[in-house]
Amino acid sequence: MSIAEKEKEVIEEFELFNDWMDKYEHIIEQSRQLPLIDELQKTDEYLVRGCQSKVWLNATFKDGCVYFTADSDAVITKGIIALLVRVLSGEKPEVIIESQLSFIDRIGLKEHLTPNRANGLASMVKLMKTFALGFKLKQQA
């Protein structure tokens, strides 16, 4: 499934809810699907800088694709990173780097986050793209 198809799936899920409380519940539900980072990686080295909550993120490279694992100490933040992992994991580095992640705006997520959480979201996306760039450069070396 392409990033565009995964984004469409997320958008369609959020369209089922009229109320933002229900959408937050769905975000929390997403956190239960998150491929969790190894407990030994819950260190400063894997911490996403710029997040209000603690968010740990790691990436591995297998068969030409990037796979993410993550965790957070806050349930909403954990759901947000779960959505990002769901959309970006299993993709080629260049696809991740070039992705616009339009679903974030289409579901209205950014406008319903506090400024600190919105900054954290941007930091998560930036780090995921940085991991992808690192793997792309290793491939080219």
Catalytic annotation present for 51: yes
CA distance 15 to 17: 5
Give the pLDDT of residue 93: 98
Which residue, among 10, 19, 22, has the nearest Cα to 107 in the 3D structure? Answer: 10
CA–CA dist 64, 73 (Å, integer) = 31
Please pick, among 3, 34, 37, 51, the residue that the annotation labels catalytic.
51
- What the chain holds in terms of domains, given with CATH numbers, is 3-140 (3.90.1010.10)
pLDDT of residue 25: 96
Tokens of 70: 């993550």
User: Could you give the 3-state DSSP secondary structure of residue 87?
Assistant: helix
The per-residue pLDDT for 105 is: 93
pLDDT of residue 42 exceeding 80, the answer is yes
AA identity, residue 38: D
Model confidence at 19, pLDDT cuts 50, 70, 90, reads very high
pLDDT tens for each residue of 56-104: 999 999 999 999 999 999 999 999 999 999 999 999 999 999 999 999 9
pTM of the full structure: 0.95
Count CB neighbours of 105 within 10 A. 11
